[in-house]
Amino acid sequence: MLIRHTATLAAMLLLGTAPFAQAADKPTDPQIAHIAYTAGVIDVEAAKLAIGKSKNKDVVDFANDMVRDHEAVNLQALDLVKKLKVTPEDNATSQALSKAAADERAKLAKLEGAAFDKAYVDNEVAYHKQVNGALETLLIPSASNAELKSLLETGLKIFQGHEQHAEHVAGMLK
């Protein structure tokens, strides 16, 4: 299910089995920008699915927050790469995240009602843990540009709040 694949991706990122995550293969700023942007797009797509499917006010409110916040951070990221004249570089991690997310969105789309709500929110908890861990241990330390590093640090603070919010909503669904 969603959590299993998200946990696998998290383990890949955090344990260094993703193609770029080895110490010798520290991601470049253009790769980091692409990974971070991709992660935001993935969460927006999942949230839009939840907005369309869920009848639970708490789940829909949470999903609306995810769309608002991740679109805002991604807009800041796009503005920064334009300012720096950097082209985000597609990479194996971005591609793996996108493929796994598309596969899981398809599975999630087949669920209804409380089963959907629980699966969506549980995935949001796991996904934010994954993204926050990758930001803390890999992306922020690997960023060379101070402005990119600052944007990632700001994003981390926001996404830590998302993780806590998702845990709260998950607790309400039990």
Nearest alpha carbon to residue 46 among 130, 113, 123, 134 = 123
Say if residues 164 and 124 touch (Cβ distance below 8 Å).
no
Q: What is the mean pLDDT of residues 144-163?
A: 95
Q: What's the number of CA atoms in the CB half-sphere (13 Å) around residue 55?
A: 5
Residue 72's pLDDT is 94
Say if residues 5 and 122 touch (Cβ distance below 8 Å).
no
Residue 14's pLDDT is 39
Q: Does pLDDT of 20 surpass 60?
A: no
Domains of the chain (ranges; CATH) run 27-173 (1.20.1260.10)
Q: Does pLDDT of 129 surpass 70?
A: yes
Residue 49's pLDDT is 97
Residue 60's pLDDT is 98
Q: Does pLDDT of 87 surpass 50?
A: yes
